[in-house]
Structure 1
Amino acid sequence: MRIAMDARFTRTDHHDGISRYGASLIEAVSRHASVLMLISDERQLALLPDLPWVKINSPLSPAELLVALRVNRFGADVVFSPMQTMGSWGRKYPLILTLHDLIYYSNPTPPGFLPFPVRGLWRLYHLAYWPQRLLLNRADVVATISDTTRSLIARHRLTRRPVRIVGNAPQPGAVLRDPAAAPEKILLYMGSFMPYKNVETVVRGMGHLPGYTLHLLSRISPARRSELQALVPDGARVVFSNGVTDAEYGDLLRRATALVTLSRAEGYGLPMIEAMAAGTPVVASDIPIFREVAGGAALLVDPDSPEAFAEAVSALDDPQHWRSASKAGLKRAAEYSWETSARELLAAAGEAVRLFRKR
């Protein structure tokens, strides 16, 4: 099977969630099928596997409306996009579109990297569900990354197409921490600083955790940093890293007491699985997606309670409790792999081909 995989959401400097998902899936699928990558900027190749590629328009270009007319020429057996916005008018191939989550319906602030006009369209798009239905119903199969999102898709009747799981996974080859080494009093947060991420509660909780240092690892705007700095309790230690390399992130994961996240909504929560794969416990908000992803291996707390957050972290001061949480996380993380995700995508691709031929 020859699969054209849309790699135009790959970043040119460092991966974000969608970028890493797409690149990792491309590499895993290429071990089982012939893959053609669709890119829009040759700088994206630095973060992609060494595979055949063609350059087409940006997914944010008006030309996206007619992109299928170009993709038709490549003779792919099926086309997969890690987003749901790929143009499909005039296509002559089976198509799989991906909807990761429905976060932006309840949290309409668009990602800051989008151009200003696109941010405006983004807000309008999420004012109602019918535009989402229009896009998803133009696919043959819809992919998503969790049962939580699949249930939401069904609840809001977003598509008549089959919805299949093509899961996320940690990066292979993670170096495990030394189980005999005592954890340092370090807490890590990896993620954006958008309002729904609820980093404020984590920062406030540090007032109940003397001796601990919270590292906010992701890049942050000066304005957002000032907002969070104003909330740091007296005497609490909070470090703004403003971005770390993969090597730095891995080193911190192998030393920290826990990775923490109190998001009120999430599409998946990849940092949770990354931490578990390293043997680092996770303290997270008690929301449906984290219950699904953690499978009972994380310490889940009320996202509105700094005290409950601090209590969960303090419980990890007990070496036996920490080791138990570490082992539970390792066991859960082992259930996720890009090999499994690749096989899920190939099954969805076969289904898309069958449905397309019946049209």
Structure 2
Amino acid sequence: MKPQKKVLIDSRWAGNTGIGRLYQEVIKYAPDEASCAYVKSKMGLGSLLTPLMLGEEIKKSTADVFYSPSFMPPAFSKTPFIFTVHDLMHLFYYSRLHKIYYEQVIARLAPKAKKIITVSHFSKSQLVELLHIPEDLIRVIYNGVDSHFLANEEEYESARPYFLYVGNRRKNKNIPAMLTAFAKAKIPNEFMFYLSGKTDPELEALIVSLGIQKRVRFLGFIEEQDLPKLYKGAHATLFVSLMEGFGLPIIESMASGTPVLTSNTSALPEVAGGAALCVDPQNVTAIALGIEQLVNDEVFYVDCVAKGFQRAQEFNWEKTAAETWETILS
């Protein structure tokens, strides 16, 4: 049996988010040679003081290595540390303060890491080009897809066929363009567009102006156990973001046997691997034509189902966790 290593982990990221999902899966598959302890601070995830807090937590610990599933490294550490940068969205779609923080704090601390993990080759290229992090310091480890999506045979009960969007409301998600394209697409009016989360005044105004109030439904918060049947019941998933570091809904939908319309930019074609319909996210007409093709071209649709299901099986959380622990413990 290999000797145990003490690993201090930033557990504040546990929660119902993409990062939270990664954290849960990594912890679930922790090997015997990892003796895990956890950061005790309850400091908010968005606090700019997090690197200082992490430095203090590491100093107080007897850990051999520190691991964080997200982008905040410690400000100082004699202990080797590994952290994950999922994407560089903060440079493009957040506040100016976020941009400065990434460029002046994260970029300066990152080269001190033992290793930086990222979730796609697209994100790795951004880390190298935009933050000037040495390429050999970065390891790409893809996210996984839960076996529940592959095994599920239940469908969400809907009186009408529907397209599905799963995600938050951030600007990069491109929701106004998807709604506009849905309204513009020449498809039967019986088709609905279901979106996770709640609406907001801006989206409501857009929906009214497009005349699709009766064809759009916001589902609110979706429990993890309800996601597989929502994907399974959908005609297709729309995930036409302007930028993503990975894009979990792509492989979750594919694993459910549901085709995906996504973007031809950032990490999305990399994750789709030729098994989704990829379009220009800046072009509403292209998105609308993609929606039409998924409704009207049955041969293409069936091909997407088969290719997507096959592609999804190339991703699993156990592999993600194994590669992560290999990086932490090496």
TM-score bracket for this pair, using the shorter chain length: 0.7 to 0.9
Tell me the distance in 2 between the aligned counterparts of 1:196 and 1:63.
25
**Equivalent of residue 244 in structure 1, options 222, 247, 260:** 222
Q: Tell me the residue number matched to 2:13.
A: 9
**Equivalent of residue 82 in structure 1, options 56, 64, 69:** 69
1:100-179 alignment, distance < 5 Å: 100-109=86-95, 121-126=97-102, 129-160=103-134, 162-174=137-149, 175-177=151-153
Using the aligned pairs only, state the percent identity.
25
The answer to whether the 8 Å contact 2:93/2:172 transfers is yes
Alpha-carbon displacement from aligned partner over 1:138-182 (angstroms, at most 9, x marks no partner): 312111111111111122353246101232111232234479xxx
Q: CA deviation at 1:3?
A: 2.5
Tell me the distance in 1 between the aligned counterparts of 2:50 and 2:137.
28
**Equivalent of residue 331 in structure 1, options 310, 321, 324:** 310
Give the 3 Å change call, closer, same or farther, for CA 67–234 of structure 1 in structure 2.
Answer: closer
Q: Which amino acid aligns with 1:85?
A: M
Alpha-carbon displacement from aligned partner over 1:221-245 (angstroms, at most 9, x marks no partner): x334434434433576111122222
Greater fraction of residues in helix: 2
Q: Which amino acid aligns with 2:38?
A: L
Alpha-carbon displacement from aligned partner over 1:172-200 (angstroms, at most 9, x marks no partner): 32234479xxx962100011112221111
Give the 3 Å change call, closer, same or farther, for CA 216–66 of structure 1 in structure 2.
Answer: closer
TM-score (norm 2): 0.85
**Equivalent of residue 299 in structure 2, options 314, 317, 320:** 320
Q: Tell me the residue number matched to 2:84.
A: 98
Alpha-carbon displacement from aligned partner over 1:242-300 (angstroms, at most 9, x marks no partner): 22222332222111111101111112111111111111110011113111000000001
Structure 1 residue 255 corresponds to structure 2 residue 233 = yes
Tell me the distance in 1 between the aligned counterparts of 2:53 and 2:230.
45
The answer to whether the 8 Å contact 1:316/1:322 transfers is yes
Tell me the distance in 1 between the aligned counterparts of 2:280 and 2:234.
22
The answer to whether the 8 Å contact 1:99/1:143 transfers is yes
Q: Structure 1 unaligned runs (5+)?
A: 40-54, 110-119, 352-359
Q: CA deviation at 1:204?
A: 0.9
Name the SS of the counterpart of 1:156 in structure 2: helix
The answer to whether the 8 Å contact 1:18/1:82 transfers is yes
Structure 1 residue 310 corresponds to structure 2 residue 288 = yes
Tell me the distance in 1 between the aligned counterparts of 2:284 and 2:161.
18
Alpha-carbon displacement from aligned partner over 1:63-116 (angstroms, at most 9, x marks no partner): 751433333444333211112323242x2321002211112212224xxxxxxx
Structure 1 residue 300 corresponds to structure 2 residue 301 = no
Give the 3 Å change call, closer, same or farther, for CA 234–75 of structure 1 in structure 2.
Answer: closer
The CA RMSD over aligned residues, in Å, is: 2.6
TM-score (norm 1): 0.79
Q: Which amino acid aligns with 2:168?
A: S
Give the 3 Å change call, closer, same or farther, for CA 74–219 of structure 1 in structure 2.
Answer: farther
Structure 1 residue 26 corresponds to structure 2 residue 59 = no
Alpha-carbon displacement from aligned partner over 1:325-354 (angstroms, at most 9, x marks no partner): 111111111111112112221332245xxx
The answer to whether the 8 Å contact 2:25/2:321 transfers is no
Name the SS of the counterpart of 1:266 in structure 2: coil
Tell me the distance in 1 between the aligned counterparts of 2:92 and 2:236.
29
**Equivalent of residue 321 in structure 2, options 336, 342, 345:** 342
The answer to whether the 8 Å contact 2:160/2:192 transfers is no
Q: Which amino acid aligns with 2:34?
A: S
Tell me the distance in 2 between the aligned counterparts of 1:123 and 1:162.
22
**Equivalent of residue 169 in structure 2, options 187, 190, 193:** 193
**Equivalent of residue 204 in structure 1, options 180, 192, 199:** 180
Q: Tell me the residue number matched to 1:38.
A: 38
